[in-house]
Amino acid sequence: MNISDAWGNVLLGIGWFVLIYMILVISFYTILLVISMFQLRKSYQLDDWEPYEELLHLSQTKPVSILVPAYNESVGIMATVRSLLSIEYPEYEVIIVNDGSTDDSLEKLIETFQLVKIKWVIRQQLETQPVKAVYQSKLYKNLLVVDKANGGKADALNAGINVSNFPYFCSIDGDSVLERSAFLKVMKPIIESDGDVIASGGSIRIANGCDIESGEIVKIGLSRSPLVVMQVIEYLRAFLMGRIGLSRHNLLLIVSGAFGVFSKSWVIRAGGYAHTVGEDMELVVRLHRFVKEEKADKQIVYVPDPVSWTEAPESMKYLRRQRSRWHRGLFESLWIHKKLLFNPKYGSIGMVSMPYFLIIEFLGPVVELTGYLIMIVSLLFGGVYLEFAILLFLLSIFYGSILSMSAVLLEEWTIRKYPKASDIMKLFFYSLTETLWYRPLTVLWRCEGIIDFLRKKRGWGEMARKGVSK
């Protein structure tokens, strides 16, 4: 056997590994897709209001503290606060945590909502950077603003927890806009379960292209930017396909920081948010771990219907930064809680969820990148290798485009948030092109996240915002 043959065999060996990995992952996603199909279709066209109406009037509907960490969110924060002040929920408080912003966020808030500095006894249940002042609005008694020294998102959320009055809290991103009934919907499983559900997360969708006025979604639409449209598809795929399937068996390891409700006492007992870049996922993993160690029977669920609309990055620069950060955050959570991996003591979380997030979500981009490299090298070799490259390419179309097209159809078949047929057409045809450009890009960015982690890069990196509200 000459060197060229040996190299060819290595190439084929790796290629086969990538091929089998991809087939396994496609099969796993297909199972999740089928579970989601049944679950979502069951509630298709269910009355939008009747199931939640009673929650507005019953004393069992627990009050909620809504925490909004804000660092230089001057552009979007007003719309977020306005949307929060108009939600339908019997009792809640809104706590904006100004995490040492260097822009005019605080001044704008003080002026718009007539904030007054007040004495506030803070229950120091979680360690945080010092709080400089607490303000209360003269216009809305349930609006508080905490001004504190910069400590990062996790620190801001912990400070918000310390200041909050109510037994449940919800974390919302400073650039998000909530649908009015989103709170009742996301709290429903918690209330109905008598507290057996300790965290519940809603869906995140992309607001670019929608008409938002004074913090309220007026018209749902699609952005013209291909990069944003692809993110819309990606979110549909992640939320509708992934989370429903995992949530059904209490396997959910992510409740998005942009919209999730948590039981305060459980979060405090588990130690609050940790200073990682993926603090939302890390908290959920820790909660699962804590619940198992306490031998409690508690659940963390995902509710697809309530939606928080958030601004997506429109440029490659910021999208790349976001994706690489997300992947770093994912690895940090897995690394911190590596003890759970394949550990039967932690039940399905240790045996299914953690391996899923490690093998599919974290290592997926590495395997995919290997696949792309093999395709390129095989093309150069020609002959049988060219055929192998084509084989891998065909499979990657299944892996990317076909599954994303299915997610778009699933949305139209079950939830139907987009009113215009042209929007669905656009989403469908864009998803067909995913394998050709968007997926390779995100694979590269996510692999960059792994390198950043190995280089011990920390922090979030800046994110420019235009604001989603008129």
Partner 1 sequence: MFKDELLFFVVMLGIFLIILFSIFLYLVMKKIRETKKRESIEAYKEELQLPLFHFLREGAEEVEVGRDPLQIRALIELMAGFSQTFASEDILMRIRLFAEDHFDGEIKKHLRHRRWSMRMNGLYWIEDFGMRTMTVELDRVYQSRRLTKQEEIQILKIYIKNGSSDVMKALMHPKHEFTEFEYSLLFQALGNEDFEGLMEAAGELPEVMHHSLIDSIGMRQNPHYAGFLEEKLGSASSEIRIRALKAIVAMEHYLPPDLLAEHLESDSWQERLMAIKVCEYVRNPELTGLLIGLMRDPSFYVRSQAAQAIMRLERGQEILKEMAVSEEDLYARDMAEQWLERGRIT
63/91 Cα distance (integer angstroms): 5
CB 117 within 8 A of CB 127: no
Cβ distance 415 to 40 under 8 Å?
A: yes
Only segment of 70-78, 134-142, 266-274, 344-352 that touches partner 1 (CB under 8 A) = 134-142
Give the number of residues in contact with partner 1, rule: CB under 8 A: 48
Rounded Cα–Cα distance for residues 1 and 5 (Å): 6
Candidates 87-95, 231-239, 332-340, 408-416 — which segment interacts with partner 1 by CB under 8 A?
A: 408-416
Binds partner 1 by CB under 8 A, chosen from 74, 98, 406, 442:
406
The secondary structure element, H or E, covering residue 401 is none
Among 45, 380, 455, 462, binds partner 1 (CB under 8 A): 45
Binding partner 1 by CB under 8 A: which of 149, 316, 394, 436?
A: 394
Least distance CB 419 / partner 1 (angstroms): 8
CA dihedral (414, 53, 144, 84) in degrees, to 10, reads 40
Task: Give min distance, CB of 408 to partner 1, in A.
Answer: 8
Q: Which of 1, 5, 47, 459 binds partner 1 (CB under 8 A)?
A: 47
Q: Tell me if 412 contacts partner 1 by CB under 8 A.
A: yes
Residue 91 contacts partner 1 per CB under 8 A: no
Name the phi and psi angles at 44, rounded to 5.
-65, 130
Rg (CA), the chain: 23
Do 142 and 166 meet the contact criterion of CB atoms below 8 Å apart? no
Least distance (Å) from partner 1 to the CB of residue 420? 9
CA distances from residue 391 to 5, 287, 375, 394, 426 in whole angstroms, order as listed = 20, 42, 9, 5, 28
The yes or no reply on residue 335 touching partner 1 (CB under 8 A) is no
CB of 418 to partner 1, least distance (A): 9
**Residue 24 binds partner 1 (CB under 8 A):** no
Of residues 427, 235, 405, 217, the one with CA closest to residue 312? 235
State how far the Cα of 136 lies from the Cα of 113, in Å rounded to an integer: 9
Distance CA 95, CA 135 (A): 10
Q: How far is the CB of 42 from partner 1 (least distance, A)?
A: 5
Which two structure tokens, joined as six digits, stand for 382? 């020609």
Q: Is residue 20 at the binding interface for partner 1, with CB under 8 A as the rule?
A: no
Q: Which stretch binds partner 1 (CB under 8 A): 135-143, 284-292, 335-343, 354-362?
A: 135-143
Would you count residue 191 as binding partner 1 (CB under 8 A)? yes
Question: How far apart (Å, rounded) are the C-alpha atoms in residues 85 and 366?
Answer: 44
Q: Does 390 sit near partner 1 (CB under 8 A)? A: yes
Identify the CA nearest to 324 among candidates 205, 428, 454, 188. Answer: 454
Q: How far apart are CA 459 and CA 70, in angstroms?
A: 16
Closest CB 116 distance from partner 1, rounded Å: 6
Closer Cβ to partner 1, 19 or 274, answer by number: 19
In terms of CB distance, is 5 or 50 closer to partner 1? 50
Check binding of 225 to partner 1 (CB under 8 A).
no
Q: Give the span between the Cα atoms of 181 and 198, in whole angstroms.
A: 20
Q: How far apart are the C-alpha atoms of 24 and 357, rounded to whole Å?
A: 14
Piece of the chain touching partner 1 by CB under 8 A; list 52-60, 198-206, 240-248, 352-360: 52-60
Q: Quick one: 216 or 412, whose CB is closer to partner 1?
A: 412
Asked if 246 and 353 count as a contact pair (C-beta separation under 8 A), the reply is yes
Which residue in 138, 317, 345, 466 binds partner 1 (CB under 8 A)?
138
Contact present, 141 and 262 (Cβ < 8 Å): no
Applying CB under 8 A, among 6, 373, 425, 436 the residue interacting with partner 1 is: 425
43 near partner 1 (CB under 8 A): yes
Give the range of 206-214, 245-253, 258-266, 415-423 binding partner 1 by CB under 8 A. 415-423
Contact 19, 399 (CB under 8 A): no
User: Rounded to an integer, what distance in angstroms lies between the CA atom of residue 12 and that of residue 6?
Assistant: 10
Chain-centre distance for alpha carbon 321: 16
Q: Does 391 bind partner 1 (CB under 8 A)?
A: yes
Residue of 305, 308, 315, 94 lying closest to 210 (CA atoms)? 308
- Is 88 near partner 1 (CB under 8 A)? no
Binding part of the chain for partner 1, among 63-71, 78-86, 246-254, 419-427 by CB under 8 A, reads: 419-427
From candidates 2, 27, 130, 141, binder to partner 1 by CB under 8 A: 141
By CB under 8 A, residue 144 contacts partner 1: no
Q: Are 240 and 305 in contact (CB under 8 A)?
A: no
Q: Looking at residues 103 to 122 of the shown chain, list those that interact with partner 1 (rule: CB under 8 A).
A: 116, 118-121
Residue 456 found at the interface with partner 1 (CB under 8 A): no
Contact residues for partner 1 (CB under 8 A)? Answer: 41-47, 50-51, 54, 58-60, 116, 118-121, 123, 136, 138, 141, 191-194, 196, 384, 387-388, 390-391, 394-395, 397-398, 402, 405-406, 409, 412-413, 416, 419, 421, 424-425, 428
